[in-house]
Structure 1
Amino acid sequence: MIHNLAAGQQVFTSNVFLITGDRTVLVDPGNEFDVVPEIREHVDELDAVVLTHTHPDHIGNTAAVVEAFDVDVWGYDPGHELVDHAIADGETVQLGDHAFRALHTPGHKNDHLCFYAAEPRILIAGDLVFANGSFGRTDLEEGNREWLVESIEYVLDAIDEELAELHTGHGPSVTRDPYDHVAHAAKAARMY
């Protein structure tokens, strides 16, 4: 089960996905709101924190979550002060009840990861792509439009056209034709 704990928050934060099941994981702790009580409404313990990338709106609450639940943090860049364990491109990561393949997707930020589970056809896209064909910013430090386009195409090649769920770093999740939203983002990123 995937819960967006940031839904309804009126602060500068990313979406915060609590994925429950065999391995209860928090994807992107968010920023500027007290996420710990939100987590405790659903679970008593966490097995891990996983980061899509290390922009402040995605990681601001990390220290509070680590302190409250005594968990390690996983991300692409083990050199980052918050990351305890590296996740490599192509590595399999257990989130909830499913095995997700990590996809290194730079362009928005160098340490950006997406996660795709082929069995339930779920994509956790971070800030690579969003609903309605939107795509991540490239005007911030480490942003690179050419890499972003390549990363979106990499994800398109990895996912199934029957994608069932798209969970993004900001805005709504998509459950109706989510593959089309990713394909439109690829086209838009190439054009603009």
Structure 2
Amino acid sequence: MITNLARGVQTFTSNAFLVEGDRPVLIDTGSNFDVVAAVREHVDDLEAVVLTHTHHDHIGNLEAVTDEFGIETWGYDTELDDVSVDHEIADEATVQLGDHEYTALYTPGHKDDHLCFHSSEAGVLFAGDLVFQNGSFGRTDLPEGDRATLIESIDRVLSVVEDDLEAMHTGHGPSVTRNPYRDIELASQLARQA
């Protein structure tokens, strides 16, 4: 089961996805809300925090979560000055999230340490801030943002996921459960026009 713990939160935060199962993990912690209490409503324990990237809205609650559950953080880059990422996830590495194995896809363009996670078996993509509902795509006007690189990353994801992808969980806004492949195609097209 995948639950967006930030759903309905009325403050600036990213989504924070609790993935239940054999290896319960939190994908991004969000910020500015009590994510620990939200986790506790669903599970007693977590095994890890997995980060799509390290913008503050995705990691603001990181210390509270790691302190409360005594767990470590997994992400693309362990050499960051201001964020504690304990374990590196390399491009194309396999990561267990809940009951399924996911492939990590290095997808810079929005931020240099951005990862997406895809499972063919589960039919799920965790897209972070790469793409969103209705063909929206990640900002490139922030430090480390680059439109050409973002387009390459979107195209890479498009080449990996299947056209029958069942769900795309995004860093902001609602998850896409109706033809998410089409939203990724649209993001690729719109990013080229903007």
Q: TM-score range by the shorter chain?
A: over 0.9
Q: How does 1:34-113 map to 2 (within 5 A)?
A: 34-80=34-80, 81-113=83-115
Tell me how far apart the structure 2 counterparts of residues 70 and 39 of structure 1 sit (CA, whole Å): 14
Name the SS of the counterpart of 1:49 in structure 2.
strand
TM-score calculated relative to the size of structure 2: 0.98
Aligned partner letter, 1:148: L
Name the SS of the counterpart of 2:74 in structure 1.
strand
Name the SS of the counterpart of 2:26 in structure 1.
strand
- One of 154, 164, 167 as aligned partner of 2:166: 164
CA drift of 1:191 comes to 1.3
1:74-112 CA distance string (max 9 Å, x none) = 000011232000000000000000000000000000000
Aligned: 1:174 with 2:176: yes
Structure 2: gaps spanning 5 or more residues:
none
Aligned partner letter, 1:3: T
Aligned partner letter, 2:54: T
Tell me how far apart the structure 2 counterparts of residues 139 and 17 of structure 1 sit (CA, whole Å): 26
Name the SS of the counterpart of 1:156 in structure 2.
helix
Aligned partner letter, 1:64: A
- One of 118, 141, 144 as aligned partner of 1:142: 144
1:98-130 CA distance string (max 9 Å, x none) = 000000000000000000001121000000000
Tell me how far apart the structure 1 counterparts of residues 94 and 121 of structure 2 sit (CA, whole Å): 13
Aligned residues: 192
Tell me how far apart the structure 1 counterparts of residues 160 and 74 of structure 2 sit (CA, whole Å): 22
Tell me how far apart the structure 2 counterparts of residues 163 and 63 of structure 1 sit (CA, whole Å): 33
Aligned partner letter, 1:137: R
Q: 2:25 maps to what in 1?
A: 25
Name the SS of the counterpart of 1:14 in structure 2.
coil
CA drift of 1:7 comes to 0.4
Tell me how far apart the structure 2 counterparts of residues 25 and 188 of structure 1 sit (CA, whole Å): 33
Runs of 4+ in 1 over 6 A off after TM superposition: none
Structure 1: gaps spanning 5 or more residues:
none
Identity within the alignment, %? 61
Tell me how far apart the structure 1 counterparts of residues 110 and 59 of structure 2 sit (CA, whole Å): 15
CA drift of 1:153 comes to 0.2
Tell me how far apart the structure 1 counterparts of residues 142 and 10 of structure 2 sit (CA, whole Å): 23
